[in-house]
């Protein structure tokens, strides 16, 4: 797909709402804990489904999960779970819903121990010189290591492929295609980004 003389990543033409997501969100580095948690949750729901399904329901997910405020989600009760299972605007998968509530509790533990989610997650940013060409893999050494560590800390639905997709979208990796006009934009954003500590 083209935008003027600019090429986008091939996947960006797969659905009507993808170009805007591709051009304004995907790959920009993020250090906001709530946004990082939201993306981890949405990747949980996306497991086994298409990203298009999740993106079209994203606003519904935000309303259903208190805009992914992990302080609030950690307090969800059985009654809240039942309400979510009745909510036709989201993916009604009980295991995934319970995983998000569990992960909100784990997020609070992590913030207490590490200072922030961002500080912990950005420790797993891969060295770009070690990565293969863009769009050629679905995991990396760091996503495997992060998966192991999160599982050890009690997180659920955090496999290496899920976490690689998270890294791509949250800017820990620039996986825009070599000829994509956004690749250089993301490189600039990553260069100017102050890594959380």
| Residues designated as active site | 21, 43, 51
How far apart are alpha carbons 140 and 145 in whole angstroms?
9
- Helices 94-114 + 78-85 axis angle, to 10: 130
Among the residues of the chain, which ranges form H helices? 18-24, 33-46, 51-56, 58-64, 70-73, 78-85, 94-114, 117-121, 141-152, 160-169, 182-192
Cα(14)–Cα(12) distance, rounded to whole angstroms?
A: 6
* End-to-end Cα separation, the chain, in angstroms: 38
Q: Which two tokens mark 139?
A: 């995991």
**28: its two tokens:** 């920009």
Closest CA to 144 of 128, 127, 157, 161: 161
């Amino acid at each position: 797909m083209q935008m003027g003389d600019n090429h986008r990543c091939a996947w960006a033409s797969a659905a009507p709402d993808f170009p805007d997501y591709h051009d304004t969100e995907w790959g920009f580095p993020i250090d906001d804990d709530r946004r990082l948690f939201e993306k981890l949750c949405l990747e949980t729901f996306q497991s086994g489904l298409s990203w298009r399904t999740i993106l079209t329901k994203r606003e519904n997910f935000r309303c259903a999960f208190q805009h992914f405020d992990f302080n609030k989600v950690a307090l969800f009760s059985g009654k809240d779970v039942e309400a979510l299972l009745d909510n036709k605007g989201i993916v009604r998968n009980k295991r995934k819903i319970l995983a998000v509530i569990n992960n909100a509790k784990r997020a609070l533990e992590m913030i207490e121990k590490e200072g922030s989610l961002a500080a912990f997650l950005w420790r797993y940013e891969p060295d770009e010189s070690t990565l293969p060409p863009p769009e050629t893999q679905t995991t990396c050494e760091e996503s495997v290591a992060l998966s192991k560590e999160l599982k050890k800390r009690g997180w659920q639905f955090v496999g290496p492929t899920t976490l690689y997709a998270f890294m791509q979208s949250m800017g820990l990796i620039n996986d825009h295609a070599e000829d994509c006009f956004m690749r250089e934009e993301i490189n600039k954003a990553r260069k100017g980004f102050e890594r959380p500590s």
